[in-house]
């Protein structure tokens, strides 16, 4: 089973708006499987296609309630609100508080190209929203308040140059 290289902050693919998938065949199922393997290896709770270099609307999620593979996911309903610190496999060593709905209803296609609806609460709702954000090029740092955002981006760019002291 292949493992993909996870794309990191600064790579343009993470900012693209991903294309809708027009069909789910053996190619897409192989991508789903390898995305899941990559997610588990990295100990993430979810992964979106742009994070492995593909601008297609595919996500995998496992927030402790089993593996979910979805194509063309769309949030139909949001309810409640919670603010929790979140990380992202594409932004190592960065944690930011993100306000999200505490319950969502998501529609998409499963690996058999069947239309499915998934209701998520708590952590599952959060991870679904995080991964669906990735498909529009949205990252966790886009959610934080301006003041915090300035700090995050400063620390990110200094981390990238690796010359904080100098």
Does 144 contact Zn ion by CB under 5 A? no
Tokens of 96: 């930011």
Residues that contact Zn ion, how many (by CB under 5 A): 1
DSSP string, 47-84: EEGGGGT--BSEEEE-SSS--EEEEEEEEEEEE--EEE
Tokens of 16: 């693209």
Q: Which of residues 69-88 bind Zn ion (CB under 5 A)?
A: 88
Q: CB-based burial of residue 24 (10 Å sphere; 0-12 exposed, 13-18 middle, 19+ buried)?
A: buried
Which of residues 52 and 88 has its CB atom nearest to Zn ion in the complex? 88
In contact, 166 and 44? CB cutoff 8 Å: no
Which of residues 59 and 88 has its CB atom nearest to Zn ion in the complex? 88
Which of residues 68 and 88 has its CB atom nearest to Zn ion in the complex? 88
Which of the following is catalytic: 131, 148, 153, 163? 131
Under DSSP, the state recorded for 144 is S
Q: Is 163 a catalytic residue?
A: no
Q: Catalytic residues, which ones?
A: 131
- Site residues for Zn ion per CB under 5 A: 88
């Amino acid at each position: 089973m292949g493992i993909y290289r996870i794309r990191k902050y600064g790579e343009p693919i993470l900012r693209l708006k991903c294309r809708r998938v027009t069909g789910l065949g053996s190619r897409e199922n192989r991508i789903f499987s390898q995305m899941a393997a990559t997610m588990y290896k990295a100990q993430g709770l979810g992964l979106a296609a742009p994070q492995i270099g593909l601008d297609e609307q595919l996500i995998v999620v496992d927030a402790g309630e089993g593996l979910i593979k979805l194509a063309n996911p769309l949030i139909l309903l949001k309810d409640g609100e919670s603010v929790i610190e979140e990380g992202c496999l594409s932004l190592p060593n960065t944690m930011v508080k993100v306000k999200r709905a505490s319950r969502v209803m998501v529609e998409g296609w499963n690996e058999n190209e069947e239309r499915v609806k998934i209701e998520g609460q708590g952590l599952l709702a959060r991870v679904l929203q995080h991964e669906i954000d990735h498909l529009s090029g949205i990252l966790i740092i886009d959610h934080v308040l301006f003041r915090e955002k300035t700090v995050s981006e400063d620390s990110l760019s200094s981390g990238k140059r690796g010359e904080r002291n100098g």
